[in-house]
Amino acid sequence: MPRSTQLAGSTSTENGAYHALLARHDAMRLRRRMLSPGDGAGARRAAGEAYDGAADQRVVRAHLELVGPFEELITQLYEVLFTRHPALRGLFPGEMAFQEAHLARAFWYLLDHLDRPEEITETFTRLGRDHRKLGVRPAQYAAFEEALRAALRMRAGGRGDAGLEEAWVRMVRFGVTAMVRGAEAALHEPPFWTAAVTAHQVIGGDLAVLRVVPHETFRYEAGQYTDLESPLLPHTWRPYYLAGEPGAGGELELHVRCTGPGGVSEALVHRTAVGDEVRLGPPKGNLTLGEEPVGDLRLVAWDTGWAAMKALLQEVDRRVRMSPGHGVRRVRLFLGATDVAGLYDTEYLAGLERRRPWLSVVPVTGGAPGGEGYGRLAAAVTRAAAPSGGRVLVSGPPAMVRAVGASLARAGVAGEDVRHDLLPTGAEFGHTAPGAVPA
């Protein structure tokens, strides 16, 4: 018996339908409010007037010192929110530092991209779909807006004017509107999936390979990742790549490196056993192959970023077996680690390389994670330039991804040919890079 209690399937289905209807009702009510606020700005936008984000960007930037620093503004915002709406406290983790940093990055992203509203819409639509797993309902964004207004007034201490407050609210409301639409568009799928742990192997003392089976169908593409929650740390989610071929008996494989005590990674590596349950968020990510021919590929990973590449290699292998003329020419995998002992799953990889003439593996070891280690990996990838171009897919810590990307850019590789799961600079608030998860 799993240590977590399972709900009966019929109850789960009924609750899911009920909450989907409730979420739709809340979304419609909040949308009406957003499109018809008292100042009439929303009504004008509904009539076809585009949001002038650049104007609000100038106002907010001109008065940053008045309400900043963001860390103090956000602390006061949450104090107001939880004082006025104490029931909302249960939606957040017990330790708020990570959440507050997440919101600070979101504010910076909004501010930096107000003159490019289409980018905000795309990013926050994805964020809204993903935030459903936290139990956030659209109507609760209104409480957040009220708390933001109060915090701005406290920070300004009467020195600001209504124009500053309204510029902030319009900025945040623009992002929230996209989040509501993203959540509403995803009502056909569960906000999260409960999965039973079927295998748990610890390697080298601080790495665990988990296999889990979701209770409901979980569809994803090779190269995507999911956010994971342990019942030992409610409301605390961290991203991990999905290894293995999608749809293989419904079992999912995840690689987790323990990065410190007391966090999600430590709970999954050292305090999780077969029969326990975890929760999975919706699959997401940019490392999918798409439908185009594979051609030449360079796959680049550091440590547990290998999980994404394992899934991609299995997908390439499947396509070649199903259609030998699919178009794969050459696939080179660059695996980085601090030392040889840091490489794992090597028996599987060596067997695949022996059987598949299109695959070559280049291990790159030596140097601590950071400048030296990542620099060695970036140099190896850049030296092995594909004569016919080809795509480069990169997974691992943000610093490694940036080092490889910068090295390839200096070598003349087009930006559109390099794929990874870091959003543009300043936009990484939506997730921590999978494969580089903090505790």
Which residues touch 10 (CB under 8 Å, ≥6 apart)?
none
Q: Do the strands 237-243 and 252-257 form a parallel or antiparallel pair, or are they unpaired? A: antiparallel
150, 167, 185: which is the final residue of a domain?
185
Kindly compute the dihedral angle of the four CA atoms of residues 54, 60, 61, 64, in this order, to the nearest 10 degrees.
-170
State CA 272 to chain mean position distance. 23
CA dihedral 219, 221, 223, 227 (to 10 degrees): -20
Residue 340's nearest CA partner among 372, 373, 363 is 363
* Beta strands at 295-302 and 328-337: parallel, antiparallel or unpaired: parallel
Q: Are residues 263 and 360 in the same domain?
A: no
| Contact call for residues 276 and 3 (beta carbons, < 8 A) | yes
Other Cβ atoms less than 10 A from the Cβ of 360: the count is: 13
Rounded-to-integer distance, Cα 296 and Cα 330, Å: 5
Of residues 15 and 98, more confidence is placed in: 98
- CATH assignment of the domain containing 58: 1.10.490.10
Residue 393, domain member (yes or no) = yes
Query: 16-25, 40-49, 256-265, 379-388 — which is least confidently predicted?
Result: 40-49
Are 148 and 172 in contact, with CB atoms under 8 Å apart?
A: yes
On whether both 47 and 179 belong to a single domain, the answer is: yes
Angstrom distance (rounded) from CA 427 to CA 439 = 21
Per-residue confidence (pLDDT) for residue 247, from 0 to 100: 64
In terms of domains, do 272 and 300 share one?
A: no
- How is residue 164 annotated by DSSP? H
C-beta of residue 321 within 8 angstroms of C-beta of residue 414: no
The mean pLDDT value of the chain amounts to 83
Percent residues over pLDDT 70 in the chain = 82
% the chain with pLDDT above 90? 52
* Residue 323: CATH number of its domain: 3.40.50.80
pLDDT of 54 higher than 50: yes
Q: Is 55 inside any structural domain?
A: yes
Q: Are residues 179 and 264 in the same domain?
A: no
Both 135 and 152 in a single domain?
yes
What is the CATH classification number for the domain harbouring 238? 2.40.30.10
Looking at the structure, do residues 197 and 266 belong to the same domain, yes or no? yes
Number of H helices, E strands in the chain: 14, 11
Q: What mean pLDDT comes out for the span 293-302?
A: 88
The tokens for 108 are: 């910076």
pTM of the predicted structure, to 2 decimals: 0.75
Give the per-residue pLDDT at 208. Answer: 97
Whole-Å CA distances, 55 to 109, 118, 126, 164, 209? 16, 16, 25, 11, 50
CA-closest candidate to residue 178, choices 130, 121, 105: 121
Which pLDDT does position 327 carry in this prediction? 65
Token duo for residue 69: 């620093």
pLDDT tens digits, 188-197: 888 899 999 9
Name the domain boundary from 185, 211, 232. Answer: 185
User: For residues 98, 101, 105 and 106, what is the CA-based torsion angle, rounded to 10 degrees?
Assistant: 70
pLDDT tens digits, 231-276:
999 988 999 999 987 766 789 999 999 988 989 999 999 999 999 9
Q: For residues 151 and 229, state if they share a domain.
A: no
387 is a domain residue? yes
Kindly state whether residues 42 and 165 are assigned to the same domain: yes
d(CA 112, CA 105): 10
**What are the distances in angstroms from CA 311 to CA 227, 254, 362?**
17, 11, 18
Domain for residue 438, yes or no? no
The count of residues in the chain is: 439
Same-domain check for residues 368 and 347: yes
Provide CB contacts within 8 A for 293, sequence distance 6+. 326, 327, 328
Whether residue 6 is contained in a domain is answered as no
Domain boundary among 127, 153, 185: 185
Q: Which residue has the higher pLDDT, 56 or 49?
A: 56
Enter the DSSP assignment of 284.
Answer: B
Mean per-residue pLDDT, 99-108 = 89
Considering the domain boundaries, does residue 13 fall inside one? Answer: no
The domain containing residue 238 runs over which residues?
193-280
pLDDT of residue 344 exceeding 90: yes
Whether 62 maps to a domain, the answer reads: yes
Instruction: Indicate whether 167 and 203 sit together in one domain.
Output: no
Note whether residue 392 is domain-resident.
yes
The number of distinct structural domains making up the chain is: 3
* SS3 (DSSP) at 27: helix
Residues 44 and 28 in one domain: yes
> Residue 325: its pLDDT value, please?
61
Strand partners, 212: 197, 252
Contacts of 14 (CB under 8 A, 6+ apart): none
Q: Give the pLDDT score at 422.
A: 74
Instruction: Note whether 275 and 303 are same-domain residues.
Output: no
Name the residue with higher pLDDT: 181 or 368: 181
